[in-house]
Amino acid sequence: MNRADILIHNGTILTMDEENTVIPDGLLTISEDTIRLVGSNSDASMDAEKILDADGGLILPGLINSHTHAAMSLFRGLADDLPLMDWLNGYIFPVESKMNAEFVKIGTLLACAEMIMSGTTTFCDMYLFEDEVADAARKAGMRCLVGEVLYDFPSPNYGLIEDGLRYTESLIQKWRDDPLVSIAVEPHSLYTCSPELLTASTAIALDYHVPLIIHVAETLSEIAEVKKRYGKGPIEHLHSLGILGPHLIADHCVYLDERDIERIAEHGVKAVDNPESNMKLASGISPVPEMLAAGVTVGLGTDGCASNNNLDLFGEMDMAAKCHKIQNLDPTVMNALTVVRMATIEGAKALGIDTLTGSLEVGKKADIIVLDMDKPHLTPMYNPFSHLVYTVSGHDVRHTIINGSVVMENRNLRTLDIIEVMAVAKEKALKVWDWVKK
């Protein structure tokens, strides 16, 4: 009899492999951090140190939040119903200038708890004090790709931009061999970063073979500002600087014309859609169907809690499908399977980690969630992919496994004391409110 560390059985496995294979009466085994068997209950006789009964539920890859600002969980609901630039300049940038490392760590722990409990196993973060973000993710047991936000004005973390570039290199070197934490180079945007900063950031990303991540073409005001400064649109500006390439992850991508889409497709640029944040800030709707048709890899992100206001990727999938349908007046656009792939394997491809995670295949890391489908709002189920997009919420996740470790079992977090994390987060929120009132 074969023996494994963890065995999951008695559920429908959605592998999210290239064939989107579905195994109705599935069995999956894990040894150490790796998936060793994906098959049917009848395929093998197995024993394991730990057995998780899916109880007729769904077994699928952990979701991938391809763009967020985790510590902004502490700004949830702080400045709602405002235009992006008013939101940034009137509230977010001022309160961020008063933050410290401890603040960011608490906010990230709160975000990690929320993500684990709603089925996200990997997140991509752009924020301040990112060494603390990496430490918090490591404590929570989450997989992450993180990078310090870089911009022309001084940072409350590193100060002048020269130190920000050095700080980024130190992060890359410190976390180079970590099994869960990876580092990216992350200049904020084209309107907060000079051409010199963008090219310097690109050089570091290429030298260390890590991703370069930038907010791109998010709002009409950004388009106008970039054209005013450089006489070009955002994608053309990046192209003129030699920055477009498969190393680049472009977040938001709301305002792209046909030539922009052709150009990012030609250069292998990855994109991340953030529909709820884009809608809440009235930024617009990204041309995701057109990007997919052109062969662009597109992941799905929540953005931060100050502009969403949650980190539930199931809700994000629902919005991603529906906003593009209404935009195109076509109910067949962005079908459920397409959107689930954006939240799993396509998200992994966007972040450059698809050899590790994003699908349930032998040899990949064991990042897995199990959904409890024995609930009134999930009954009956004819199509599991449709259910994931239009019916399931993060509260339906029963178990979460990351890198072969059970981080949530039967809705109980095993890596974090959620009561303590929430208590400290509430204390930090009092300081935020004081900063805003001043």
Domain positions in the chain:
2-61+361-411, 63-351
Structure tokens at 53: 């009964």
CA dihedral 182, 300, 38, 337 (to 10 degrees): -160
pLDDT of residue 198: 98
Tens-place pLDDT, residues 186-210:
999 999 999 999 999 999 999 999 9
Block residue for tokens 């009466």:
25
- Split at pLDDT 50, 70, 90, the class of 7 is very high
Q: What is the mean pLDDT of residues 329-339?
A: 97
Give the architecture-level CATH label for domain 63-351. Alpha-Beta Barrel (3.20)
CA dihedral 256, 260, 266, 272 (to 10 degrees): -20
CATH assignment, 2-61+361-411:
2.30.40.10
Q: On the CB side of 104, how many CA atoms lie within 13 Å of its CA?
A: 22
pLDDT of residue 44: 62
Write down how long the chain is.
438
pLDDT of residue 116: 98
pLDDT of residue 90: 82
DSSP reduced 3-state for 262:
helix
Phi, psi of 380, rounded to the nearest 5 degrees: -85, 175
pLDDT of residue 438: 62
